[in-house]
Amino acid sequence: MKIEGKFILKVAGTLTAICLVVAALLGGVDSVTRDKIFEINNANTVKALKAVAADATDFPSVNVTGAMTDAASAQGAKVTEAYEVKKSGEHIGYAFKIVASGSQGDIEMIVGVDADNAVTGVSIVDNKETSGLGSRVMENETLPSGVGVLDQFIGKSGAGSLTVGGNIEAISGATVSSKGVTTGVNTALAVAEALG
């Protein structure tokens, strides 16, 4: 069976038209949802900032510098945003948005660090961890010691000094997720130290 040139052109034209229509529809959906997604992400970030620095009254943005990026890379994660934490105009620490690897993808978290470079809190902004396993870490499940898995970082300091199985407990069955959060906290401490 021989396929004629007219048939090929007709099929190619039809497929091109379908692609153009789909592209236009996707563009329309993006323009409608972009602002809403941005608002949701901002609301999640503000909520996370308040969770890691409850006493704060203001979170002015800080430019992420090369030294901060280098400190984060050395710990195996990325710093994407930085905020100064202030209370009534006084500097009381920093908060960093950190992206670290989990078992199913990236874990995006906000980590608060006080003026003495000790962790004030960890709040998960976004993750793709497995429901019922890694998600237990993200939801701050209580450990056998009676402390929440994220709460155990509060008061800890020393970039690179936190290790799962050492001074950090993991959720059983979610060790990779626990290690991802631990990497993120170590990264925040390293970034805070880079700021001096």
Higher-confidence residue: 85 or 133?
85
Confidence of residue 1 (pLDDT cuts 50, 70, 90): low
Three-state DSSP state, 87 = strand
pLDDT at 30 over 80: no
Using an 8 Å Cβ cutoff, are 56 and 92 in contact?
yes
What pLDDT, on the 0 to 100 scale, is given for residue 94?
95
What is the tens place of the pLDDT at every residue in 123-181?
Answer: 998 888 888 878 888 888 888 889 999 999 999 999 989 999 899 998 888 888 999 99
Helix axes 66-75, 175-195, angle to 10 degrees: 150
114-120: list long-range contacts, CB under 8 Å, 24+ apart.
114/85, 115/91, 116/157, 117/157, 117/189, 117/192, 117/193, 118/155, 118/156, 118/157, 119/153, 119/154, 119/155, 119/156, 119/157, 119/185, 119/188, 119/189, 120/52, 120/53, 120/85, 120/93, 120/154
- What residue spans of the chain are helical by DSSP H? 5-52, 66-75, 134-138, 175-195
Distance CA 124, CA 108 (A): 6
pTM above 0.85, yes or no: no
